[in-house]
Structure 1
């Protein structure tokens, strides 16, 4: 119920004049009335915008309650560091630095999951195992979701636990099942969901499909009570998390700075990977990896305002564990972070 009320409130918050702003006029409006973030215009149609997000119902699913609710970790920090970047804290995990490209398919929910799973396997193995997990395996074979129309992020984590996930990079890449679609600069229709495969691509000879599977030990949604501190604690101890939020037209033109909704039509829901946080110009933000290629934002990454549940970013956050044990982090280094 709260999720529905939040969505209704957001849909009603902007005026008719704001809704009608589009394209260059929208970008000019954003850059004129505030300095928190910069927008940059490029040609993209409303249809193309909608191809890159999923149906809003997948962003805040009311019936999605984890069977393994989040429990406060032993020794949870009473104070979080001012800034944290998983890329710096776990520098040997190459997947944390990667930006992937979902193309014109609403597969963000599967990409976010594949990215988080890749990162956590690396982190929890102390860098000895660094698979790049296939978003297509999740996209096509997770039966409780709807492919390129969208999917439930918690279901993607449950799929990792119950069915396992194979490796696979982006379009024409390495691994068992790489992504079927490449970056599309001249597409005018949405991509359809590929069929679920149970065998690896021919050139992949490392493993058979079943032997290539990685399994999680748990899947859970984080509590929304004291959401910011809960998300921070989870990232600090176990690695990046997957979050959903509502996307508005101005977000597509984000170039730099700390994003907050200014103006434009509501376009749909989206899922991304949160890898850290910080402060810029006295504004708290989340540090986030998008899956729209490196041409978006700050080389594929962006910052979103933290602490006010901007566009619902703190409302529905999920994760899972590769190991049954919580990661034991370097407490001395973490203490140093907290003192900064």
Structure 2
């Protein structure tokens, strides 16, 4: 089942393969592939990129588990027998353009805000049956949610969803898009080995200031552009319940502990019947489309791989 979730990361890097001191080296990548597992590694990051920079991109703060929302009481109409073998949110809701969007967080550890804003955007469309589209601003959430953590230095997904309910979030597209109230402040940059964007420099951006003012030329005042959630919650730590949540209400935000081999992900980790029909989640990352498999990755489903099924957050929009 290719249920789509938005990815964020616990920025703790651990050794998964004790073979090389440099997890970005060709030697390390070759060793991963020599193990002949269900996924393939490849060169994602160029020689100018350091591991300290990569670690900076993984912006779920380790204390995020202390800020988990209450677990949702089950209210799904679906039974286990109604979960199909294959389900892809992009195909299920083709009129919801944000579901197929891969964003770029640039040189800021803001994946906690990106995962939330993306899933919130998806859920407005899904739960309005395609009648409403609203692209929530990662910038507004990053800059204006003071209780969400440390901005570009890591945040708490649960608090981000609670902020949506209590304070609302305005609209905003990608850097330079002029789309919405507050587009993203950080320019896309090329973290990766092959791509057309300018190279990323430095160890990451500073958290932007919260202005609570829309960009010039946007004709809706900030306070009137705010859109709210009606509820926010943690999804139960059960693969079947996460599947039901996605099928019923749309993509969710997920976090997991990253091991050093993950940064080299290229494909696989559950590749249909060719590798034993391994069950997997399809996850959208925010490292632009040059990373991984067009910006996506697959991760084993049903065994709480890297803790991913323990850290799923979601909510419902106020329509």
Is the shorter-chain TM-score for this pair beyond 0.5, marking a shared fold? Answer: yes
Contact 2:60 2:112 in 1 (8 A): no
Tell me which residue corresponds to 1:40. Answer: 42
Aligned mate of 1:118, from 116, 121, 124: 121
For the residues of structure 1 that align with 2:171 and 2:272, how far apart are their CA atoms? 32
Which ranges of structure 2 fall in alignment gaps of 5 or more residues? Answer: 1-9, 190-198
1:2-151 aligned within 5 A: 11=14, 14=16, 16-17=18-19, 22-41=24-43, 42-43=45-46, 44-54=49-59, 56-58=61-63, 60-61=64-65, 63-67=66-70, 69-79=71-81, 80-144=83-147, 145-151=149-155
CA contact (8 A) 1:82 1:279 kept: no
Q: Deviations over 1:252-305 (max 9, x none)?
A: 22111117xxxxxxxxxxxxxxxxx97762211101110010111121111111
Within 2, Cα distance between the matches of 1:143 and 1:110?
A: 12
Partner of 1:187: 201
Q: Quote the residue 2:254 is aligned against.
A: 243
User: How far off its partner does 1:76 sit?
Assistant: 3.2
Q: What RMSD over aligned residues (CA atoms) do the two structures have, in Å?
A: 2.2
Aligned-pair CA distance for 1:32: 1.4
Aligned to 1:271: none
Inter-CA distance 83–47: structure 2 relative to 1 (3 Å threshold): same
CA distance, structure 2, for counterparts of residue 130 and residue 319 of structure 1: 18
The answer for unaligned runs of 5 or more in structure 1 is 1-6, 260-276, 325-340
1:212 is aligned, of 217, 225, 234, to 225
Does the residue aligned with 1:47 lie in a helix, a strand or coil?
Answer: helix
Q: Does 1:294 align with 2:289?
A: yes
State the number of aligned residues. Answer: 292
User: TM-score, with normalisation over the residues of structure 1?
Assistant: 0.80
8 Å contact from structure 2 (residues 175, 187) kept in 1? yes
CA displacement, residues 235-264 of structure 1 (integer Å, 9 cap, x when unaligned): 0100000011112222222111117xxxxx
In structure 1, C-alpha distance between the alignment counterparts of 2:185 and 2:23, rounded to whole Å: 35
**Distance verdict in 2 for CA 1:88–1:115, change over 3 Å:** same
Tell me whether 1:311 sits opposite 2:306 in the alignment.
Answer: yes
TM-score, normalisation: structure 2: 0.86
| Secondary structure of the corresponding residue to residue 149 of structure 1 | coil
Question: Following the alignment from structure 1 to structure 2, what is the Cα–Cα distance between the partners of residues 73 and 178?
Answer: 36
